[in-house]
Amino acid sequence: MKAVFFDYDGVLTTDKTGSLTTTRYLSKATGIELSAVKAAFSRHNTDLTLGRTTHARVWHDICDALGQKVDIRLLFEAFESTPMNTGMFSLARELKKKHLVGIITDNKKDRIEHLKRHQMLESLFSPIVVSAEIGADKKSDEVFLHALRVAGVSAKETVFIDNSEDNLVAPGALGFKTFFHDDEKNDIAALSAALRELGLLARDAQPA
């Protein structure tokens, strides 16, 4: 095994999805009901995730749906509220001592670009493969094949970790070794043990 790719939301973060993080923050910041914020964003979610549009382009429509003008700066504050899964970052740092460590995520381009800077993601993860940049999500082969090409590894040399079992189907069929991470349990010790069995971690390695 040469490479380990992590999903972002629900694996490297403690929120199940980025949409949850963003809408929750905006609801609290504006006083608008969470259900209304979710509804305003949901109609654009697929296009944002596949890179067909950006938040800046649809912000006027989102504000119309919310019934008030909301400063787009709150959106970037919402991105920054993303809760990092510190234990998983520690595991990634341990893995990086001997292996390539990257991210494959179904996500919005502007969000991940902002978080690359805010969380300094590129200091630890490379490559960072985002659905919005590829125009395909994790239900297709395309995003995984792109990750392999960029990383210069084969599927059989690569591990992928995700908190959605549906997202493990395509990489598993390609030959990736896949692991489901239950975001509610967040059992990093169990994941570490499984990676240790593959020889990816030293027997005495104990990620925080």
The pLDDT assigned to 78 comes to 98
Comparing CA positions, the residue from 110, 102, 114, 121 lying closest to residue 52 is: 110
Structure tokens at 179: 């692991």
Q: Does residue 127 have a cis bond before it (omega within 30 degrees)?
A: yes
Helix axes 188-197, 86-95, angle to 10 degrees: 20
* pLDDT per residue rounded down to tens, the chain (208 residues): 999 999 999 999 999 999 999 999 999 999 999 999 999 999 999 999 999 999 999 999 999 999 999 999 999 999 999 999 999 999 999 999 999 999 999 999 999 999 999 999 999 999 999 999 999 999 999 999 999 999 999 999 999 999 999 999 999 999 999 999 999 999 999 999 999 999 999 776 555 5
CATH architecture of residue range(s) 3-15+84-197: 3-Layer(aba) Sandwich (3.40)
Q: For the chain, give every domain's residue range.
A: 3-15+84-197, 18-80
- List, in order, residues 6 or more apart from 83 with CB less than 8 Å away: 13, 14, 15, 21
Cα–Cα distance measured from residue 75 to residue 135, given in angstroms and rounded to the nearest whole number = 23
Q: Are 136 and 142 in contact (CB under 8 A)?
A: yes
